[in-house]
Structure 1
Amino acid sequence: MELDTLFITALIIGFSGAMMPGPLLTATVNESYHKGASAGPRIILGHSILELLLIIGLIMGLGSFLVLSSVKITISIVGGLFLLWMGIGIIKDAGFSKVKLELAAVGSNKSLQPEAIGVLTSISNPYWTIWWATIGLGYVTMAWEQGIIGLIVFYLGHISADFIWYTGVSFGIASGKEMLSDNIYRIILLICGVFLVGLSLYFIYLGVKPLGIF
């Protein structure tokens, strides 16, 4: 995968994960309501540092393992199937209006800085672990084929989506405005879901191609 394609796909898939309702979005809403627009970027700063350490750990511990043909095939197929499941789920939820951009804030955690909340919220989210064990690992494997520059491009694309989305949410909460209606939110999710399905097929194709099926 070329570097520009790697960045763009990492950015879009990053949006698809960032926009789904979950602990990180809830924490961002709550902290932004109580601490202002800087809370969102600070939460994602902690989140992004954790992901950087994770990528470094993957490469340091699995670098030679990831280049094995059998490993790349397995990761591509498993990651593609999980991506397909994720994309179909997003399309169904968005199409049947099962997701909403909840903007109701509760109490702020005054004992923790937003950066720490970003780290702890991410670690405690099982979905985050599953994502990195499947889709994330698949991307790291592809990026590693381009060397360090590939990993940097992937990482920047991935975290850019988080910073853009959560900064927007944080600013909207702090300024007392809903920047997105539920309908627009669902349309964006629907587009992301369709993209994920297409990308999942590409992942699966990369996995089965060496097997001579196509």
Structure 2
Amino acid sequence: MGIFALFLTALIVGFSGAMMPGPLLTLNINESLRRGVWAGPLLIFGHAVLEIVLVVVILLGFGKVLANSYVSGTIGVLGGITLMYFGFTMAREAGLKKISLSLEGSDSLSQRPGRLIINGALVSLANPYWSLWWVTIGLSYLTNSLTVGVLGVVAFLAGHLLADFSWYGFISFLLARGRRHINQTTYLLIIFFCGIFLVALGAKFIGDSIVRLKII
């Protein structure tokens, strides 16, 4: 597979994954409504840094370790707990009306870009299916990429990350533009149900991981 083919197929596969509902998309909806159009790109920047680190780790030979059922199961349990915490916090703040659509004051993006970057990495790491994707489909792509050298790996990563930045940036743009048409009650309901979704998803991750760990 040539460099352009690696880039193009990675872009298409990346879009198929980015467009699926999940914890990062849910967090993107929440933060874009609260902080505006740059929330999505900042979240994905954290996600991208984590993916680059993971690619290096896999290339160094640690892919089999991550694929181990006990390792992936432990990641799943810890990730599920993290997602449930994120979800509970979102739902609680919405229920207590501690957040608002205003970008003024404590919700200003300028005050916490670093937190968004960190949260983008944490939520990705908390998703066990993210690491499983990388040690299966991702590892296969990396193997093909290495046949054409370092440029092949760069082309694969460029296509994959471009899909993430494009989709999440697009979602952030739409939500930021539509904020003026959303009232406070509707906003709180959106955030509340996003929080409930994360709690449920976290619980599912924990359940699936317990099965992999063969605890029950």
Residue 37 (str. 1) matches residue 26 (str. 2): no
- Aligned counterpart in structure 1 of residue 132 of structure 2, from 130, 133, 139: 130
Q: Please list, as runs of the form range in 1=range in 2, the aligned pairs for 1:147-166 lying within 5 A after superposition.
A: 147-166=149-168
* Per-residue deviation, 1:170: 0.4
Letter in 1 for 2:45: L
State the SS of the aligned residue for 1:21.
coil
* Per-residue deviation, 1:129: 1.3
TM (norm. structure 1) is 0.60
Partner of 2:116: 114
* Per-residue deviation, 1:60: 2.2
Q: Percent identity?
A: 47
Q: Distance in 1 between matches of 2:158 and 2:127?
A: 22
The count of aligned residue pairs is 137
Letter in 2 for 1:166: Y
**Unmatched 5+ residue regions in structure 2?**
65-89, 100-105, 180-216
Q: Please list, as runs of the form range in 1=range in 2, the aligned pairs for 1:135-150 lying within 5 A after superposition.
A: 135-150=137-152
* Per-residue deviation, 1:147: 1.0
Partner of 1:10: 10
State the SS of the aligned residue for 2:178.
coil
Runs of 4+ in 1 over 3 A off after TM superposition: 105-112
Letter in 2 for 1:60: L
Q: Distance in 1 between matches of 2:23 and 2:57?
A: 24
Q: Distance in 2 between matches of 1:6 and 1:12?
A: 10
Q: Distance in 2 between matches of 1:153 and 1:173?
A: 30
Q: Distance in 2 between matches of 1:58 and 1:132?
A: 9
Residue 51 (str. 1) matches residue 48 (str. 2): no
Letter in 2 for 1:117: N
State the SS of the aligned residue for 2:160.
helix
* Per-residue deviation, 1:62: 5.8
**Unmatched 5+ residue regions in structure 1?**
66-104, 178-214
TM (norm. structure 2) is 0.59
Letter in 2 for 1:146: V
Q: Distance in 2 between matches of 1:19 and 1:62?
A: 28
Letter in 1 for 2:159: G
Q: Distance in 2 between matches of 1:17 and 1:50?
A: 16
Partner of 1:173: 175
Partner of 1:24: 24
Q: Which of the two has greater helix per residue?
A: 2
Q: Distance in 2 between matches of 1:55 and 1:157?
A: 14
Q: Distance in 1 between matches of 2:136 and 2:59?
A: 15
